[in-house]
């Protein structure tokens, strides 16, 4: 059990972190996740941290790295399920989750990603994908 599963659900990948993060597991997760983003072509990654009692600087950095890698591969990252105590500790420790969006739970995370994707496509001028995903077609003609 040295691997964190990456689950594909619709246009998202879901990762539920339940084990203590060690170097090897974190590296493996980064590799697995980037492989899956490329092989599935999804545009969103949801990382659930409901099970985490604490987010220290190592975990914070890992989340930022994953978000940055995903971004390069054209996928947004949302961290969901953060416990109130974890949020308090994060702020007290002065840790900022750079470049990471958060949402209360998986469903809100999915909404956030869907909205972000729609806006991005609109900004890009509405390509084929925008039409296919049911965008309202307010594409700016270039």
Nearer to a second copy, 8 or 115 (CB): 8
Residues near a second copy (CB under 8 A): 1, 3-5, 7-10, 14, 16, 18-20, 48, 50-53, 81, 105-107, 110
Burial 51-66 (b: 16+ CB within 10 A, else e): ebeebeeebbebbbbb
d(CA 81, CA 63): 14
Q: How far is the CB of 9 from a second copy (least distance, A)?
A: 6
Closest CB to a second copy among residues 44, 81:
81
- Pairing of the two strands 12-16 and 6-9: antiparallel
Q: How far is the CB of 81 from a second copy (least distance, A)?
A: 7
CA atoms within 13 A on the CB side of 137: 3
Q: Whose Cβ is closer to a second copy: residue 60's or residue 109's? A: 109
Least CB distance to a second copy at residue 47 (A):
12
């Amino acid at each position: 059990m040295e691997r964190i599963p990456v689950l594909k659900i619709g246009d998202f990948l879901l990762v539920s972190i339940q084990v203590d993060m060690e170097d090897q597991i974190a590296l493996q997760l980064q590799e697995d996740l980037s492989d899956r983003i490329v092989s599935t072509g999804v545009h969103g990654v949801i990382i659930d941290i409901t099970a985490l009692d604490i987010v220290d600087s190592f975990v914070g950095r890992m989340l930022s790295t994953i978000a940055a890698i995903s971004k390069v591969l054209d996928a947004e990252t949302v961290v969901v399920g953060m416990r109130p105590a974890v949020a308090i500790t994060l702020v007290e420790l002065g840790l900022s989750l750079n470049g990471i969006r958060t949402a209360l739970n998986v469903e809100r995370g999915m909404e956030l990603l869907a909205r972000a994707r729609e806006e991005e496509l609109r900004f890009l001028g509405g390509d084929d994908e925008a039409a296919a995903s049911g965008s309202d077609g307010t594409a700016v003609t270039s």
